């Protein structure tokens, strides 16, 4: 006669805890990856102690050879404003743009971009690297 044990352990495995952890890790990495703004490799940004937490919608880069790039698209200075308007569309609130200018660029060029931003009511962040 076979004697059956009343205290059998369950061999089922619950995956709900594991899926929660995977979801949280995925969410964490997605948030961290959006916090970093890519900087063009041939631009040496000026140094600063102050860093901002605002997220720009668009990045304008100026190399030391006076080459302009709007979100990775090369253009001349005359094409910068129409290209910005094309990429931003018609936002409901004033968008934030980031200007990455090489530390050797003449400030007059940066002032011209700031004037474009002022005319179009854009918020501006000047890109810097930390000390």
Instruction: Please indicate, yes or no, if residue 78 is contained in any of the structural domains.
Output: yes
Quickly count: other Cβ atoms within 10 Å of residue 77's Cβ.
14
User: Do the domain assignments include residue 66?
Assistant: yes
The pLDDT of residue 25: 93
Looking at the DSSP assignment, which residues form a beta bridge with residue 101?
Answer: 62
Please determine, for residue 3, whether its predicted confidence score (pLDDT) is greater than 80: no
Instruction: Say whether pLDDT at 80 is over 60.
Output: yes
Average pLDDT, the chain: 81
Q: Global pTM?
A: 0.61
Please report whether residue 113 resides in a domain.
Answer: yes
Is 35 within the bounds of a domain? Answer: no
Segment (H or E) for 119: helix 107-119
Measured CA to CA, the distance from residue 30 to residue 8 in angstroms comes to: 43
Rounded CA gap, 92 and 68, in Å?
27
Is residue 24 scored above 90 in pLDDT? Answer: yes
Number of H helices, E strands in the chain: 3, 7
Q: How many CA atoms lie within 13 A of 42 on its CB side?
A: 10
Residue ranges of alpha helices (H) inside 2-44 are 16-35
**Measured distance CA(57)–CA(96) in Å, rounded:** 6
Is residue 81 a part of any domain in this protein? yes
Which of 28-42, 48-62, 70-84 shows the lowest mean pLDDT across its residues?
28-42
For residue 123, is it within any domain?
yes
The answer to whether position 36 is within a domain reads no
What's the domain count of the chain?
1
Query: Do the domain assignments include residue 17?
Result: no
Q: How many CB atoms lie within 10 A of CB 39?
A: 15
Which domain covers residue 105, as residue numbers?
A: 62-130
């Amino acid at each position: 006669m076979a004697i059956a044990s009343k205290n059998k352990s369950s061999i089922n495995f619950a995956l709900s805890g594991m899926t929660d952890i995977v979801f949280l890790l995925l969410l964490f990495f997605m948030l961290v990856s959006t916090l970093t703004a890519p900087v063009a490799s041939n631009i040496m940004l000026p140094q600063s102690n102050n860093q901002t937490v605002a997220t720009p919608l668009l990045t304008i880069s100026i190399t030391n050879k006076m080459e302009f790039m709007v979100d990775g698209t090369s253009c001349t200075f005359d094409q910068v404003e129409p290209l910005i308007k094309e990429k931003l569309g018609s936002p409901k609130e004033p968008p934030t743009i980031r200007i990455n200018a090489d530390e050797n660029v003449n400030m007059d060029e940066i002032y011209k971009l700031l004037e474009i931003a002022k005319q179009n009511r854009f918020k501006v962040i000047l890109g810097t690297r930390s000390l």
